[in-house]
Amino acid sequence: MTSRMRHLHTALLTALALVLGCSRNEAEEPLGSVAVAPGPPTPAPSVSRPQRSPLSLAVNGPASVVAPSEIELTIVLHRLWNTPDPVVLSVDLPPGALLVSGAASETLAPSSQPHTRSLRIKLERVPSADLVVRADLDGRAYGAHARAVYRFGRPEPKLARPAGSVVMIGGRPVGKVIPLSPAPGSVQ
């Protein structure tokens, strides 16, 4: 095996390990994006060069809403790489919201320019659930997913903050305890 073939073989195995190691179940996916970079492996991230997702998605609208009313939302999608693959943009409306104008699902042609879309939503009541926008990019050997929400003026949920005593494992402190409340309807 030549040196060049050995280098290519190592690069392909590294890329495969990264793809398999980064794959996740959609149910475990946090808000934000999960992405696998196309093409050859990139150098390891450093403090001066942070990793970036290939898709960035945002939903902008009024800070608070009242019902009944109509509101205008703006969706902005940025692509880090201009690949030949289209992005599928989809909008999930919560109960109490009706799409008046704009598309609930759309396939966007490849472009290095940001995609901006407007939606007009009629509110029968202020929804208690989020409007969710998804962007999905599927290539031959890679894919990317981005998710953004509009909360109709409700505050973002807060994560539990560490409190209480410091946990020690093997004589080393690993952080404070995060208190968890029992799930509704669970037996203690």
Which residue matches tokens 């969710």? 132
Amino acid sitting at position 147: R
Cα–Cα distance for residue pair 134/180, rounded to 1 Å: 30
Structure tokens given for 83: 């690949």
The number of residues in the chain equals: 188
Please report, in tens digits, the pLDDT of each residue of the chain (188 residues total): 566 656 555 666 666 555 555 554 444 444 444 454 555 555 555 555 566 778 999 999 999 999 899 999 999 999 987 788 999 999 999 999 999 999 999 999 988 899 999 999 999 999 999 999 999 999 888 889 999 999 999 998 887 777 778 888 999 988 888 777 776 666 65
Structure tokens given for 81: 């790489």
Give residue 177's pLDDT.
81
Backbone angles phi, psi at 15, to 5 degrees: -60, -40
**137 has which bridge partners?**
87, 144
Could you write out the three-class secondary structure of 120-182?
EEEECCCCCCCEEEEEEEECCCCEEEEEEEECCCCCCCCCCCCCCCEEEECCEEEEECCCCCC
Between the alpha carbon of residue 47 and those of residues 34, 38, 50, 51, 155, the distances in Å are 20, 22, 6, 10, 32
**58 has which bridge partners?**
76
Give residue 22's pLDDT.
55
Question: What residue segments make up the domains of the chain, in order of their start?
Answer: 31-36+52-156
* CB hemisphere CA count around 63 (13 angstroms): 0
The answer to whether residues 172 and 163 touch, using CB atoms and an 8 Å cutoff, is no
Q: Which CATH number fits domain 31-36+52-156: 3.90.550.10, 3.40.50.1400, 2.60.40.10, 1.10.4080.10?
A: 2.60.40.10
